[in-house]
Amino acid sequence: MSVIEDYGSTLLILTIIFGFFMAWGVGANDVANAMGTSVGAKAITLKQAIVIAMIFEFAGAYLAGGEVTSTIRKGIIDPELLADDPELLVYGMMSALLAAGIWLLIATAYGWPVSTTHSIIGALVGFASVGISVDAVNWSKIAAIAASWVVSPLIAGSVSFMLYMSVRKFVFDTPDPFAAAKRVVPVYIFLAGFIISMVTMVKGLKHVGLDLSFEQSILLSAAVASVAMLAGIVALSRIKRVVNSSSHDIVNIERLFSVLMLFTACSMAFAHGSNDVANAIGPLAAVNSIISSGGNVLQTAPMPAWILMLGGGGIVAGLALYGYRVMRTIGTHITELTPSSGFAAELAAATTVVIASGYSLPVSTTHTLVGGVLGVGLARGIAAINLRVVATIFASWLVTLPAGAILAIIFFYMFKAIFGQG
């Protein structure tokens, strides 16, 4: 217990710094991936994307980020084994944050596709299995998480395939696609609003002090979705057909879908906030609870709101200081994506990630989005997808896991040497 008593505040301050650093990295790197498709499809400007990301990343983190945070905090490492050595768990969480943060920084510098989720999970498993014992890792949870990494892109791909097919059927394959789009787009907006608020209300709002029944959640979600839909209808009604010399008006239809993409971009930012902020603040929450309770690893006090705020703030800071440049680069490079196909990929990814958040599974937003893009591609909606890049992105977690693990192990022994044990 002595380490916790002697160095408690030092360790907590260090962890806060590392957590903020990690959140900064998520904001600098990951958010750009989540929002870049909207910018690339020219549905929203870079400035709009940043404002949307700031608001909805924060909202996602604060309102729906609790479940995944608790997985990172106490779902992966069995705290019972560490009841006598709480400082080891503190060191481990600190090294996981530092390892994932640094690995993210290196990867960003070289343009490698790494997922923050894979980095932090790799780091946690690494320090726990080597630094403590293989039994300290909750392997069944790890198996579930690994399975979700395979399943989430598949689900996003199937959903985006169906969404895009529905656009074809209900918009493009009609006598008046422009009028059809005006009717159909609000439905998609409702769908996005409903699924996201439903998951949030059923799974996430307890810590904010709202405990809603299932029926209440349905009603309230429908209300939220209706408000979004009405806003969408107003925005759509202001878009008039630009006189077009040719007999078809795809330009006009895409302008309608740009409105939709504004909403799916919000969903995407919300989903990303709900899932990825946990990577930064989960370990911080764990360290905070151990230190504030004087070394009790098993206490189950609710996570203080300031930690969620810190995570959201870190993401916003990373985005504001660096992420917008990555976003701009992605945006200018993606020229082949149209709003009508981009929305399908985004909406599918956003709903998949939010649902994963609801089930407390940390998934990779980037992977899920790539799954969504492939789904649209399979529906013949994208001019060209570089399969080699797809392979690189999906293979990256095979490298990221051991990289995060090795770094975390090094830092773990380093902290152990600095602050001592016992």
Partner 1 sequence: MVKTPILAKLFGPSPVTPIQHHMSTCEQCALEIIPFFTATFKRDWPLAERHGARITELELDADKLKKQIRMNLRRSLFLPVSRNNLLEIVQIQDRIANGTKDIAGLVIGRQLELPEPLQPLLAGFVEVSISAVTLARVAMDELNDLITTGFTGQEIEFVEKILERLHAAEHDADVQQIELRRALIDYEHELDAIDVMFIYKVIDRIGDVSDDAQTVGNRMMYLMAK
Q: Which of 62, 164, 397, 419 binds partner 1 (CB under 8 A)?
A: 164
Candidates 15, 19, 38; CA nearest to 27 is 19
360 SS3 class: coil
Residues 207-236, one symbol each (x = binds partner 1 by CB under 8 A, - = not), give ------------------------------
Give residue for tokens 């830092």: 411
DSSP character for 350? Answer: H
Q: Which of 108, 116, 267, 360 binds partner 1 (CB under 8 A)?
A: 108
Task: Supply φ then ψ for residue 254, to 5 degrees.
Answer: -65, -30
Q: Which of 17, 42, 162, 174 binds partner 1 (CB under 8 A)?
A: 174
Q: Which of 23, 31, 326, 401 binds partner 1 (CB under 8 A)?
A: 326
Tokens of residue 35, six digits: 């929002």
Residues 3-42, one symbol each (x = binds partner 1 by CB under 8 A, - = not), give -----------------------------xx--x---x--
**Footprint of partner 1 on 281-300 (CB under 8 A):** none
- CB-count burial class (<10 Å; 0-12, 13-18, 19+) for 376: buried
Closest distance between partner 1 and the C-beta of residue 73, in Å? 29
Residue 136 or residue 163: which is nearer to partner 1 going by CB?
Answer: 163
CA 133/CA 125 separation, integer angstroms: 10
What residues have CB less than 8 Å from 35, skipping those under 6 apart? 49, 52, 53, 265, 268, 269, 327
Q: Binding of partner 1 at residue 98 (CB under 8 A)?
A: no
Q: Binding of partner 1 at residue 389 (CB under 8 A)?
A: yes
Q: Binding of partner 1 at residue 167 (CB under 8 A)?
A: yes
If one counts every other C-beta atom within 10 angstroms of the C-beta of residue 391, the result is 10
Task: Please give the size of the binding site for partner 1, defined by CB under 8 A.
Answer: 59
Q: Binding of partner 1 at residue 237 (CB under 8 A)?
A: no
Closest distance between partner 1 and the C-beta of residue 39, in Å? 11
CA 161/CA 381 separation, integer angstroms: 9
CB 231 within 8 A of CB 390: no
CB 197 within 8 A of CB 350: no
Q: Rounded to the nearest 10 degrees, what angle do helices 2-25 and 116-126 cross at? A: 160
Q: Which of 250, 317, 406, 410 binds partner 1 (CB under 8 A)?
A: 250
Q: Binding of partner 1 at residue 380 (CB under 8 A)?
A: yes
Candidates 121-129, 272-280, 301-309, 386-394; binding stretch for partner 1 (CB under 8 A): 386-394
Residue 384 or residue 418: which is nearer to partner 1 going by CB?
Answer: 384
Closest distance between partner 1 and the C-beta of residue 168, in Å? 4
Closest distance between partner 1 and the C-beta of residue 383, in Å? 4
Q: Binding of partner 1 at residue 242 (CB under 8 A)?
A: no
Q: Which of 237, 384, 418, 422 binds partner 1 (CB under 8 A)?
A: 384
Residue 59 or residue 370: which is nearer to partner 1 going by CB?
Answer: 370
HEC secondary structure over 55-122 = HHHHHHHHHHCHHHHHHHHHHCECHHHHCCCHHHHHHHHHHHHHHHHHHHHHHHHHCCCCCHHHHHHH
CA 422/CA 418 separation, integer angstroms: 13
Closest distance between partner 1 and the C-beta of residue 266, in Å? 19
CA 190/CA 192 separation, integer angstroms: 5
Strand partners, 77: 137
CA 315/CA 368 separation, integer angstroms: 20
Q: Binding of partner 1 at residue 241 (CB under 8 A)?
A: no
Q: Binding of partner 1 at residue 252 (CB under 8 A)?
A: no
Q: Binding of partner 1 at residue 388 (CB under 8 A)?
A: yes
Closest distance between partner 1 and the C-beta of residue 68, in Å? 22
**Contact footprint for partner 1 (CB under 8 A):** 32-33, 36, 40, 108-113, 164-165, 167-169, 172-175, 177, 246-248, 250, 254, 325-326, 328-330, 332-338, 340-341, 366, 369-370, 373-374, 377, 379-390, 392-393
